[in-house]
Amino acid sequence: MTAVRPDITPKQAPEATSFPTGFVWGAATAAYQVEGAAAEDGRTPSIWDTFSRTPGKVRNGDTGDIAADHYHRYRDDVQLMKELGLKAYRFSISWSRVQPTGRGPAVERGLDFYRRLADELLEAGISPVATLYHWDLPQELEDAGGWPQRETAERFADYAAIMAGALGDRVATWTTLNEPWCSAFLGYGSGVHAPGRTEPAATLQAAHHLNLAHGRAIEVLRGQLPATAQTSITLNLHQVRPLTDSVADADAARRIDAVGNRVFTGPILHGAYPQDLIEDTSHLVDWSKLVHDGDLTTISRPIDVLGINYYTPTVVSTPAAGQGDARDDGHGNSEYSPWTGSEHVAFHLSEGKRRTAMNWAIDPDGLYNLLLDATRDHPGLPLMVTENGAAFDDYVSPEGRVMDTERIDYLHGHLDAVQRAVAAGADVRGYFLWSLMDNFEWGYGYSKRFGAVYVDYASQRRIPKASAHWYADVIRRHALPPASGPM
- Does residue 435 have a cis bond before it (omega within 30 degrees)? yes
Residue 46 phi, psi dihedral angles, 5° rounding? -100, 175
Can you tell me the distance from the alpha carbon of 276 to that of 254, in angstroms, rounded to the nearest whole number? 9
Residue 30: count of CB within 10 angstroms of its CB: 28
Among the listed residues 387, 399, 406, 441, the single catalytic one is: 387
Q: Is 179 among the residues known to form the active site? A: yes
Q: Where are the alpha helices (DSSP H) in 85-196?
A: 95-98, 108-123, 139-143, 151-167, 180-181
Q: Is 343 among the residues known to form the active site? A: no
Residue 287: CB partners within 8 Å, gap ≥ 6?
273, 278, 281
Can you tell me the distance from the alpha carbon of 480 to that of 96, in angstroms, rounded to the nearest whole number? 40
Among the listed residues 35, 120, 179, 441, the single catalytic one is: 179
Residue 60 phi, psi dihedral angles, 5° rounding? 65, 10
281, 374, 415 from 419: Cα distances, Å: 38, 15, 6
**AA identity, residue 133:** Y
Can you tell me the distance from the alpha carbon of 297 to that of 280, in angstroms, rounded to the nearest whole number? 23
Q: Where are the alpha helices (DSSP H) in 2-100?
A: 31-34, 47-52, 70-84, 95-98
CA angle 333, 213, 100 (to 5 degrees): 80
Q: Which residues pair with 231 in a beta bridge?
A: 174
Residue 177 phi, psi dihedral angles, 5° rounding? -130, 145
Which residues are identified as catalytic? 179, 387
